[in-house]
Structure 1
Amino acid sequence: MSSYKNHELGKSISSKIENPHSDARMPVASFTRLTGSGRSAIAVLMLQGEGAEPIIQRCFKPANHVPFKEGQIRYGLWIGTEPEATGDSETQAQSTEQPAESVVITPLPDQTFEIHCHGGPAAVARIEADLRACRATSASAASGSKPSEHSLLIREAETVLMKCNTPRTAGIAMDQVRGALLDWAKKWRTSVTPATIPEFRAELEPLLSTAATTVRLAEPFRVVLTGPPNVGKSSLLNALVGFDRSITLDMAGTTRDVLHANTVIAGLPIQFSDTAGIRDHAAVETIEREGIRQAQLAAGNADLLLLVCEPLPEGGFSKIALPSPEIRQLRVLNKIDQQLQFRQLPDHLDDRFDVGTNALTGEGLAELMVTIGTRLGKNLPDAGTPALLNERQWKIMNQSSLADSPEQISELLGHLIGHNHG
């Protein structure tokens, strides 16, 4: 029996697919790799045709059994094909040696699916082999359904896509590979008039407001932990990333250098930075003073600051030197177990703090991670919408926002599309 039946997936189509090792003819399907050849962070394959959905149902084990919906990404495991139970123990043993691959599947219109997987050659080759085993044929990229493959915007989007490290950021780049920005630019290039310039600017505003984030999709978000010495910043970092990245010691000045650790929260690549505790320069030695200077530099370049403090035995809380208000901030009260001990706060936080945590017990960490993902994700475009992916695109669109004639806007959109490029 086919493995997708054993997993109770796609019961509605179970009659459509035959065992791939039988001689029965399966519905037609073809696949192509949308990202370039060679090693990359993420690879994307497109599978389309009448047989695409049965193959997905057979090879993909989703994290939940919610029915597929167009444009809705689905996380899960690529379990591949399994040989028919023929008693061939050697073949069956070989099949179990293949570990499941973490993948993201995106259903699209016209019986089309995108398969997002690790960009290493082995992962891509394994999935392509499974597709061939299910009688899908390989098609060249030129025969796929990518819009205007030779367009500069598409090539730029493919370059960014190959460097993305998570499915969420890759999805934004993939929307542009599919032509979200290209189609938007073409529409306005031929339709803008004096009367529609306000509408054009209204549609352009979301692209410009998210550009500071979308032009760095291949880079992690910088989240910096800052605050006074000995408030538990290093312990909090270790708890967030799940391993001991920073040394912890109940002594001010333990952290001297800026320590980094990468992780993923809410589908976003994040680089946490643990910095030296900031206190009065007059009371510290030269080495610690340099650590404080580096901490302040890191804070100034952050996408999000975690301002960490703790309750004090004598009452009140350790002081935080507030950085520029232009940097997004999350106020964290660590060591919340001391609240009741010092009889300072009731069981809930006051409005001076966003999240309360106990790095040693894990209390509040889940809420902190959700809040971090929410704060950083606010400045990302919606799925399927156009986005600016590099400085060239951003500069041209800034110029077009200031243009006051349809002719100027049309010319700038032509530059965006790349009509002057080969």
Structure 2
Amino acid sequence: MDTIFALSSGAPPAAIGVIRISGPGSGNALQCLAGRLPPARRTSLAKLHDASGDLLDEALILWFPGPATATGEDCAEIHCHGGRAVIAAIGRALAAIPGLRAAEAGEFTRRAFANGRLDLAEAEGLADLLSAETELQRAVAVSAAEGGLSRQFGDWRERLLILSAQIESALDFSDEDDVPDLPDSFLPAYRLLAQELDVVLDRPGLERLKDGIRVVLAGPPNAGKSTLFNAILQSEAAIVSPMAGTTRDVIERPVAIAGIPFVFVDTAGLRDHTADAIEQIGMDRAAGEVLRADIVLWLGQQGDGPEGAWEIETRADESGSVKDAPRHRLSGKTGEGLEGLTEDLARTASSILPKPGAGAANQRQRELLAIARSALGDAPHPDLLLAAEQLRQGRSAFDRILGNTATEDVLDTLFGRFCIGK
């Protein structure tokens, strides 16, 4: 097997650059550059030289003999100065050593999976952790990366194995003329497992967390949608004008509120009809966005918005009240009432999105959980041979979730999400 190396820290220039090496030639790579192999798992200061003897840098080196390493094989790290030239020079020196090559995206983590250092669900959690942009995304992903989901999946698989063993035992000790008996605990345990799968499948999927809560600002022309949109984003993303119909297309921007991901959408004004073909296209797109929304902030006449929309009065800085009982009365110009709106949005989003530690499954995992749940059905089949097949199909789905049986295209897709050096 090749020995791989890559820069695992941020792109240079930086104060420190961390270069990872993994594979059977890791120790030799350190000896070639540093002239010695340091004590295992202890930092050591060394001068690094290339094959010609030219000094490359003075760096900290670490040696991790396998298999108790991140990848399950011999590993090494070089903590050098993070300048572009230094990183490039060390990379050239490593590439010149026979048996070493630059790593591909996700190759370190893929080796960790292949060597049993983590399962597929943990690897997916790690990928999500690396791509997390909000606090809630980080908290949910770190739970999966640390094995929270894997332990749950593994527990369900183990319980299926126990149920299968009970069926096999009943079949083994039955005579041709006897009806085999199962333990009294079998049926309650079977039903409880099915109910637990239902609970997870009823929860929001992980993709909801990645996509964010979609909040659409809707209403007639000149209702203050763009002003409120800019106030929430604290930017001039949308053009604001007293002229009705300024917004002709959909404008959307992602933003985090209290660590929760949102996508705010400003839309064209809605009215009964228009002779302007471009405005009509904008209105059609606005209507489509309203249908896609998780939350609609309605800025038009009270009661004219879609069912479930939040009634918002946006001109609290002006005299008079347009709505009798708006959910929020605020001013996009002065910011009055804006904090109350954002706090309400955050509370509502928390009830929609997955929660840390709650076991949010991604689409692939949910599809396989659904297969397992469908195989189990509402009850075990009266024919124990067929009931055993139900349980076998369920175990097969969990094996695929954990990566015990995984196709190369699934692995390529997952590990291709990782950066080079991870």
Q: Same fold (TM over 0.5)?
A: yes
Q: Does 1:320 find its partner at 2:295?
A: no
CA distance in 2, matches of 1:217, 1:162: 14
Aligned to 1:240: 232
Q: 1:271 aligns with which of 247, 253, 263?
A: 263
Aligned residue in 2 for 1:174: 142
Could you say if the C-alpha distance between residues 148 and 175 of structure 1 is closer, same or farther in structure 2, counting changes exceeding 3 Å? farther
Contact 1:163 1:218 in 2 (8 A): no
Deviation of the 1:178 alpha carbon: 0.8
Q: Which AA in structure 1 matches 2:315?
A: K
CA shift, 1:297, in A, is 2.1
**Does 1:219 pair with 2:211?**
yes
RMSD: 3.0
Contact residue 160 and residue 217 of structure 1 kept, 8 A: no
Which runs of 4 or more aligned residues in structure 1 lie more than 4 Å from their structure 2 counterparts after TM superposition? none
Match of 1:260 in 2: 252
> 2:8, 2:220 → 1: CA distance?
48
The 2-side partners of 1:240 and 1:187 are apart by 44
- Corresponding letter in the other structure for 2:136: R
Out of 228, 250, 257, the residue aligned to residue 220 of structure 2 is 228
Distance 1:149 1:255 in 2: 53
Are residue 395 (structure 1) and residue 387 (structure 2) matched?
no
2:405 aligns with 420
- How far apart in 2 are the matches of 1:343 and 1:380? 34
On the 8 A contact 2:317/2:334 being kept in 1, the answer is no
Matches within 5 A, 1:359-398: 359-389=332-362, 391-398=363-370
Output the CA distance in 2 between the equivalents of 1:242 and 1:206. 39
Secondary structure, aligned partner of 1:296: helix
- Please identify, of 300-309 and 221-230, the stretch whose mean Cα deviation from structure 2 is larger: 300-309
Q: 1:367 to 1:202 in 2, by over 3 A?
A: farther
Residue aligned with 1:191, SS: helix
**Alignment deviations for residues 229-283 of structure 1 (CA, whole Å, 9 cap, x no partner):** 11110010111011111111222211001112232112122221110011012x3
Residue number in structure 1 paired with 2:315 = 335
Change beyond 3 A, Cα 1:208–1:250: same
Determine whether 1:153 maps to 2:128: no
Task: Check 1:210–1:274 CA distance in 2 against 1; reply closer, same or farther (3 A cut).
Answer: same
Give the match's secondary structure for 1:218: helix
Percent of pairs identical after alignment?
27
Residue 175 (structure 1) shift: 0.5
How many residues are aligned here? 266
The residue correspondences of 1:10-409 to structure 2 (distance < 5 A) are 37=8, 149-192=117-160, 193=163, 194-212=187-205, 214-281=206-273, 283-309=274-300, 317=301, 320-322=304-306, 329-338=309-318, 341-342=319-320, 350=325, 353-389=326-362, 391-402=363-374, 403-404=376-377, 405=380, 406-409=391-394
Aligned-pair distance for 1:196?
A: 1.8
Instruction: State whether residues 219 and 298 of structure 2, in contact with CA within 8 Å, keep that contact through their aligned partners in structure 1.
Output: yes
Q: Distance in 2 between matches of 1:344 and 1:329?
A: 16
SS at match of 2:299: strand
Residue 208 of structure 1 aligns with an amino acid whose one-letter code is L
Alignment check: 8 A CA contact 1:355 1:367 kept: yes
Q: Which has the higher contact order (CA 8 A, sep 6+)?
A: 2
**TM-score normalised by length of structure 2:** 0.57
Report SS of the residue matched to 2:214: strand
CA distance in 2, matches of 1:394, 1:157: 14
| Larger helix fraction of residues | 2
What stretches of structure 1 of length at least 5 have no aligned partner? 1-35, 41-124, 126-139, 310-316
Which string of whole-angstrom CA distances, capped at 9 and with x for unpartnered residues, describes residues 117-163 of structure 1? Answer: xxxxxxxx8xxxxxxxxxxxxxx999x9xx96331111122222222
| Aligned AA (1:331) | E
Distance in structure 1 (CA, Å) of the matches to 2:259 and 2:194: 30
Confirm or deny: 8 A CA contact 1:260 1:271 kept in the other structure: yes
Cα distance change of structure 1 residues 299 and 148 upon mapping to structure 2, 3 Å threshold = farther
Contact 1:223 1:273 in 2 (8 A): yes
Alpha-carbon contact 1:211-1:394 (below 8 Å) kept: no
- CA 1:383–1:269: 2 relative to 1, 3 Å: closer
Task: State the one-letter code of the partner of 1:320.
Answer: D
Q: Distance in 2 between matches of 1:373 and 1:37?
A: 35
- Equivalent position SS for 1:200: helix
Shift of 1:337: 4.2
Asked if structure 2 preserves the Cα contact closer than 8 Å seen for 1:304 and 1:376, the reply is no
- In 2, distance between residues paired with 1:259 and 1:296? 14
Q: Structure 1 CA distance, aligned partners of 2:228 and 2:132?
A: 27
Deviations 1:46-92 (A, max 9, x none): xxxxxxxxxxxxxxxxxxxxxxxxxxxxxxxxxxxxxxxxxxxxxxx
- Residue identity matched to 1:166: T
- Unaligned residue ranges in structure 2 (runs of 5+): 1-6, 12-81, 83-107, 164-186, 381-390, 408-422
- Aligned-partner SS, 2:203: helix
Structure 1 length normalisation: TM-score? 0.57
Amino acid corresponding to residue 159 of structure 1 in structure 2: A
Conserved in 2, the CA contact under 8 Å of 1:228 and 1:320? no
